[in-house]
Amino acid sequence: MRALLILLSLTTLNSTFGQDTPNPQPEVRRGGPRVFGQPVVPNADDVRAFPEPTAGFDQKRDDVPHGKLEMIEYDSKTVGTRRRMNVYTPPGYSTERKYPVLYLLHGIGGEETEWQRYAQPEVLLDNLIAEGKAEPMIIVMPNGRAQKNDRPEGNIFAAAPAFAVFEKDLIDDVIPAIESGYSTLADREHRAIAGLSMGGGQSLNFGFAHLDRFAWIGGFSSAPNTKRPSELLPDPKSATTLKLIWLSCGSKDGLFGISQGFHSYLKEKQVPHVWHVTGRGHDPPEWKQALYYFVQKVFRNEA
Ligand code: FER
């Protein structure tokens, strides 16, 4: 269904965003549009950084403590509306302690419930925290479509500009609301940003533009809203202050070239980063395992 929607939306997409979007748009060829862009040209280092997770990693367990998911509202000065976000607090969450925060962004057809539906971050985190494999953290899943009607309705590609506006909403409205409503460690070393597809592009664009705010950045299967590598990181030396740059993608994903291109740039500039390539496509299981490994690296010194 998602693929169908994307297919149907493609003609409008090219006329609407072809001029403004920095990465190449899917080309329209005789015989129909090339959904999701360029053919994948694999390189020798396009390999897994992490194994397939072991069975049960995503199963809710009765023998571990559970965190909490809650849907909250905040006033968005940027959009001029009250907006919703889904917030995970870890097991035993207490105002006696302060927690690091991961801002986790959805894809072009999603909204604030998408990560919950695709990957159940609350289950992954409860299990990992119980095993001592992830730091107790707050996970904020906002709505990255910063416009008055933020539902994924109609031509979902038409809302692409609102995904760029979300930079302001995130910095001016979302983060302050979280930091006043929850017991957080409010410095860059305790703030991470990651997302899938459109949200991966947002995470790279916003993360690198705000190195003073985020020390951990992850792009999963990042979409063509991602800025070009030299725009993301014009001064590679500035990346030395980052604790983690994570890039992952499935080798069957037609958007692969975007992640691969940024990885090649980072490699050429000798900027340390994680490059995790699976054999998957552009799909929820890809993002679930990416999140599973990403959360094991953030807020830990050995990352
Ligand atoms: C595009 C192809 C895919 C695009 C965005 C996407 C803005 C996003 C996909 C997703 O979020 O799953 O050309 O342009």
Does 235 map to a domain? Answer: yes
Domain of 112, in residue numbers:
2-11+65-290
Say which residue, 72 or 14, is predicted with more confidence. 72
Residue 295 counted as domain residue: no
Instruction: Establish if 266 belongs to a structural domain.
Output: yes
Tell whether 218 is covered by a domain: yes
Which residue from 163, 191, 200, 192 is spatially nearest to 287, judged by alpha carbons? Answer: 200
- Closest C-alpha to ligand 1, atom 4: 224
pLDDT of residue 37: 67
Instruction: Count how many domains the chain has.
Output: 1
Mean pLDDT, range 46-57, rounded to an integer: 98
In a domain, 94, yes or no: yes
> What are residue 276's DSSP bridge partners?
248
Pocket, ligand 1, Cβ cutoff 6 A = 13, 17, 21, 25-26, 36, 107-108, 160, 197-198, 223-225
| pLDDT tens digit sequence for 183-202 | 999 999 999 999 999 999 99
Record the pTM.
0.90
Who's near 131: CB < 8 A, 6+ residues apart? none
In a domain, 225, yes or no: yes
Residue 139 forms part of a structural domain: yes
- Within-domain flag for 158: yes
Cβ of 209: how many Cβ atoms within 10 Å?
15
Tell me, what CATH number does 117's domain have? 3.40.50.1820
Q: How high is the mean pLDDT of the chain?
A: 90
Residue 2 alpha carbon, nearest atom of ligand 1:
12
